[in-house]
Amino acid sequence: MKPDARRKRRNWAWVLAPLLVIAVSLYGLAYGSVSISLNEIWQVFAGSSLPAHDRIIMDLRLPRVLIGLLVGACLASSGALLQGVMKNPLADPGIIGVSAGGGLAAIITMIVLPQFGYLLPVTAFAGSLCTAMLIYSLAWDKGASPLKIILAGVAINALLGAATNGFMVLFSDRVQSVLPWLSGGLSGKSWYELGFMSPYAIAGLLLSFLAIKPANVLLLGDESAKLLGQKVEVQRFFIILLSALLAGAAVSVAGLIGFVGLVVPHAVRLIIGEDYRYLLPLSMLTGAALVVFADTVARSWFDPIELPVGILLAALGAPFFLYLLKKRRMM
Amino acid sequence: MTAIQTEQLELEMGHFRLDNISASIPKGKITGIVGPNGSGKSTLLKVMTRLLDADKGEVQIEQRPLKDYSTKELARSVSMLPQSKSGLPELTVRELVAYGRSPHKRLFESRMKQEDEAIIDWALEITGTKRHENRMFHTLSGGEQQKARIAMALAQKTDILLLDEPTTYLDIAHQLDVMEMLQKINQEYNLTILMVLHDLQQAAHYCDYLIAMKRGKIVTTGTPEDILSREFFQHVYDIEAKVKFEDGYPVIIPSKTRRLGACDKMVIVTNTSKIKPGNAHLLIERFDRVGKVEEMEGFLGLEVLLTENTKEFEEVTVSTRWESKAAFQAWTRSPAFKEAHSHRGIPDYILDNKISFYEVKIVRNPLPAASGE
């Protein structure tokens, strides 16, 4: 990529990504089992609409779109940060087990301790965090090498998957409530869920801006980063912790949604390069738009069936990822 | 004045080790570390920058113990160019050089101040990479890439610059280009430079001091004129070479080593001893002490063969090859041989001893080449 072309693309991306988020949000508000025109949406916010539309927008669609935006932004920035500090394009909260850890903790909460359901985001976050720490300590040997972290993560991911399945077999009578959550979705999520995830999500997203500079220096490799006066191990540790927070916040509400953290940063990186000053915010915006778009498609295109958005994202994401792989090899 | 002082550094790390390294790197000068592959040169640089921790010993930078430096302070005092440049992201030259300002910024600060921009400009100009500042680093030639990396290290604004084989993989024109540039920076800004070099001619020409290492130890130090000699090459590199200085520039001429291919006739002398079982190693040890054939004129090589399959006795055959009978006889008259054979009896573990002498004609390519080749 030539520097001029890259600069142009970055400028365009700054303009287009926010527009995309707005467009997709409006799409999410407008479409569903009942279509509502933009004009009517405006009336809802102005307080002069039909009560039925007011209820659909304010109680159902608006919180769901907001949750979608947060979940997408969290997953994409979590993936972008992990790929950078691990120097590995495969790093993704879904692949190295950070999401699965949050998932298992959430399932245990739902199945074994349903009376503590309101603690779901806390347990999911704690699960992600514990998994991240476990992976980190398993990979530690006078410093944690990124490759070891990935390998330990893949193994832990498999183990957590087994544990999750085990729980589902043991408590098969209660699995029904858990299934939609497992495949990842925003169905039926409203202000309550938005309320309990947003503090974690927003804190994580804001904190991730602090990671831009360290993540950029880590791109040069551990040795160079150390020679530039960076405390590489400490920084990598905190960035992994931050990714766990972001992934945990997303998992607690939306369940196991894969591929957003993997595909979005990759696609953005191909377009605007590796500099985190651009990569991180643009990944957040793109991830947010992608999840809201996919969720709207999942609930409106297959009406009256509502597909879990995780399934749709995997169906879209996997081929796209393979396309990226193919394209990269040719370069 | 010393910029870096190491005292009795010890490090054991797999194949690499440092063994009692005490060295002082003079301030404002160019010092080169030379020596064969695997002698610990890069390891020493890494210890000086804390990329590796020594098991024992101490490093002082500007008269202050290395361990008292914070990570950032160290990066403001010592910059280093590692050998490998793989794994760099896609960057413009200016973006790469701007990374050199990181040690001077707060943890989360990435915005460049005017002062930073001025230093980046300075580093680009002095390395001659200013004209490439908006090109992608990957599209530069090897030599230009190396200069851009040096510019990044210079942007750290340290007083000490370490370089690990800065000219390896460059063609001769770019090698000289980089070395001239480093010399100029050293002279203009009084920058202390310490670099690992493989090319001894360049090392001798551009460095004020040399440190020669071998197997983790410092073998010798001094100015190039003082230390580069026939003995230096024998000792450090195990090769024969003559060194002449012409106008302060060393000319190193490796001397032709005698090989079998040089002659078509030779003399083989075999000395076969039957030995009581279990004692063969004693004879081999003894031979090691008294041999000294290697330095003889006309010597072509030797083999020591030890039988392992007989029960009653073992047999050691020492077979030496010579250019001529005269060369062998000269050896038997040499002081080393005389000293070895003068006052000693035949050890009682030797049962029998037989010396044979053959004149041999060398037949090259005795087998016809295989068909189809």
What's the rounded Cα separation, in Å, for the pair A93 and A87?
14
CA dihedral for B102, B103, B108, B113, sign (positive or negative): negative
CB B154 within 8 Å of CB B123 = yes
Percent with pLDDT over 70 in chain A: 97
Q: Distance between CA atoms of A228 and A277, rounded to whole angstroms?
A: 19
Residue B194 covered by a domain: yes
Distance, CA of A268 to CA of B136 (rounded, Å) = 19
**Bridge partners for B195 per DSSP:** B32, B163
Count how many domains chain B has.
2
Whether B190 and B327 map to the same domain: the answer is no
Question: Cβ contact (<8 Å) for A220 and B71?
Answer: no
Clarify whether residues B266 and B250 are in a common domain. Answer: no
Q: Which residues contact B372 (CB under 8 A, 6 or more apart)?
A: none
Residue B341 belongs to what domain range? Answer: 260-361
Contact B89 A220 (CB under 8 A): yes
Of B238, B254, B270, the residue that ends a domain is B254
Contact A228 B80 (CB under 8 A): no
pLDDT for the residue numbered A330: 39
Burial class (CB within 10 angstroms; exposed 0-12, middle 13-18, buried 19+) of A28: buried
| Structural domain includes residue B329 | yes
B249 and B289 assigned to the same domain: no
| Interhelix angle A276-300/A62-86, nearest 10 degrees | 140
pLDDT score recorded for residue B291: 57
| Domain final position from B235, B254, B273 | B254
Domain identity same for B243 and B277: no
How would residue A271 be classed by pLDDT, with cut points 50, 70 and 90? confident
Question: CATH number for the domain including B140?
Answer: 3.40.50.300
Q: Which of B66, B86, B107, B109 is best to mutate for the A interface (most A CBs within 10 A)?
A: B107
What global pTM score does this model have? 0.76
Question: What was the pLDDT predicted at B213?
Answer: 93
Residue B293 lies in a domain: yes
Domain assignment present for residue B369? The answer is: no
Instruction: Give the pLDDT score at B257.
Output: 53
Contact B179, B206 (CB under 8 A): yes
Distance from CA of A121 to the nearest CA of B (A): 29
Contact call for B88 and A217, based on CB within 8 A: no
Q: Look at residue A36 and tell me whether its pLDDT is greater than 70.
A: yes
Say if A214 is an interface residue toward chain B (CB within 8 Å): yes
Which of B73, B75, B89 shows the shortest C-beta gap to A227? B75
pLDDT at residue A75 in the model = 93
In whole angstroms, what is the distance from residue A105 CA to residue A99 CA? 10
Residue B342 pLDDT: 63
The answer to whether residue A275 scores a pLDDT higher than 60 is yes
CATH of the domain at A224: 1.10.3470.10
Same-domain status, B353 and B205: no
Q: d(Cα A283, Cα A83) in Å, to the nearest integer?
A: 12
The predicted-structure confidence for A247-267, as pLDDT tens digits, reads as follows 888 888 888 888 888 889 988
CATH number for the domain that contains residue B270:
3.30.70.100
Contact with chain B for residue A142, Cβ under 8 A: no
Residues B54 and B203 in one domain: yes
State the smallest CA–CA distance between residue A231 and chain B in angstroms: 7
* Cα B275 to Cα A326: distance, rounded to the nearest angstrom: 70
Label residue A282 left, alpha or beta by phi (over 0 means left) and psi (-120 to 50 means alpha): alpha
pLDDT of A331 above 70: no
**B79 and A1: CB-CB below 8 Å?**
no
Instruction: Note whether B215 and B290 are same-domain residues.
Output: no
Is A219 in contact with B89 (Cβ distance < 8 A)? Answer: yes
Q: Which residues of B are less than 8 Å from A226 in CB distance?
A: 49-51, 71
Residue B177 lies in a domain: yes
For residues B52 and B13, is the Cβ–Cβ distance under 8 A? yes
Q: What is the 3-state secondary structure (H, E, C) of chain B?
A: CEEEEEEEEEEEECCEEEEEEEEEEECCCEEEEECCCCCCHHHHHHHHCCCCCCCEEEEEECCEEHHHCCHHHHHHHEEEECCCCCCCCCCEHHHHHHHHHHHHCCCCCCCCCHHHHHHHHHHHHHCCCHHHCCCEHHHCCHHHHHHHHHHHHHHCCCCEEEEECCCCCCCHHHHHHHHHHHHHHHHHHCCEEEEECCCHHHHHHHCCEEEEEECCEEEEEECHHHHCCHHHHHHHHCCCEEEEEECCEEEEEECCCCCHHHCCEEEEEEEEEEECCCCHHHHHHHHHHHCCCCCCCCEEEEEEEECCCCCCCEEEEEEEEECCHHHHHHHHCCHHHHHHHHCCCCCCCEEEEEEEEEEEECCCCCCCCCCCC
Answer whether residue B373 is part of any domain: no
| Cβ contacts of A238 on chain B, cutoff 8 Å | none
Nearest to B99 among A2, A217, A273 (CB): A217
The residue in chain B having the minimum alpha-carbon distance to the alpha carbon of residue A276 is B110
How far off is chain B from A323, nearest CA to CA, in Å? Answer: 21
Q: Do B223 and B291 reside in the same domain of the chain?
A: no
Considering the domain boundaries, does residue B298 fall inside one? yes
Q: Is the pLDDT of residue A329 over 60?
A: no
Of B51, B107, B136, the CB nearest to A223: B51
Q: How many domains would you assign to chain A?
A: 1
Q: Using CB atoms, which residue from A212, A231, A274 is nearest to B89?
A: A274
Q: What backbone phi and psi angles, to 5 degrees, belong to B241?
A: -155, 150
Tell me if chain B has a CB within 8 Å of the CB of A51. no
Higher pLDDT, B114 or A328: B114
Partner-chain contact A213 B100, CB within 8 Å: no
B160 shares its domain with B189: yes
What's the rounded Cα separation, in Å, for the pair A288 and A260?
9
Kindly state whether residues B18 and B42 are assigned to the same domain.
Answer: yes
Sheet with B2-13: strands ordered across: B16-26, B2-13, B56-61, B64-65
Option in A87, A230, A273 nearest B102 (CB): A230
More confident site: A275 or B108: A275
Task: Give chain A positions within 8 Å (CB) of B133.
Answer: none
The CA distance from A237 to A220, in Å, is 17
pLDDT of residue B290: 57
Work out the end-to-end distance of chain A between its first and last CA atoms, rounded to an integer number of angstroms. Answer: 11
Q: How far apart are CA A270 and CA A10, in angstroms?
A: 11
Query: Do B203 and B287 fall into the same domain?
Result: no
Sign of CA dihedral A142, A148, A149, A155: negative
Range of the structural domain that residue A144 is part of: 3-330
Domain end (from B204, B229, B254)? B254
Residue A69: is its pLDDT beyond 80?
Answer: yes
Query: Which chain B residues contact residue A277 at CB under 8 A?
Result: 110
CA distance B209 to B23: 11
Of the two residues A146 and B319, the one the predictor is more confident about is B319
Structural contact between residues B194 and B160, judged by C-beta atoms closer than 8 angstroms = yes
Distance CA A148, CA A261 (A): 20
Task: Of B101, B91, B133, give the one whose Cα is nearest residue A274.
Answer: B91
* Under 8 Å between Cβ of A123 and A106: yes
What span, in angstroms and rounded, lies between the C-alpha atoms of B53 and B179? Answer: 30
CB spacing of B71 vs A229 below 8 angstroms: yes
Report how far apart, in Å, the C-alpha atoms of B185 and of each of A240, B28, B124, B191 are. Answer: 41, 10, 12, 7
Overall average pLDDT of the A178-195 stretch: 78
Span A42-67, pLDDT tens digits:
777 777 777 777 778 777 888 899 99
Say which residue the tokens 């405006």 belong to.
A42
Mind listing the pLDDT tens digit of every residue in chain B (373 residues)?
A: 899 999 999 998 877 789 989 999 999 999 999 998 888 999 999 999 999 999 999 999 999 999 999 999 999 999 999 887 777 888 899 999 999 999 998 877 778 889 999 999 999 999 999 999 999 998 998 889 999 999 999 999 999 999 999 998 888 889 999 999 999 999 999 999 999 998 888 898 899 999 999 889 999 999 988 888 888 888 888 777 878 877 767 788 877 554 455 567 888 888 888 888 877 777 777 766 655 666 677 777 777 888 876 677 888 888 888 888 888 888 888 776 776 666 566 777 777 888 888 888 877 666 665 544 3
Reported as type and span, the H/E element at residue A197 is helix A191-210
Considering CB atoms only, which of A87, A210, A229 is closest to B76?
A229
Q: Are residues B85 and B170 in the same domain?
A: yes
**What are A71-122's pLDDT values in tens digits?**
999 999 999 998 888 777 777 888 888 888 988 888 888 888 878 777 777 8
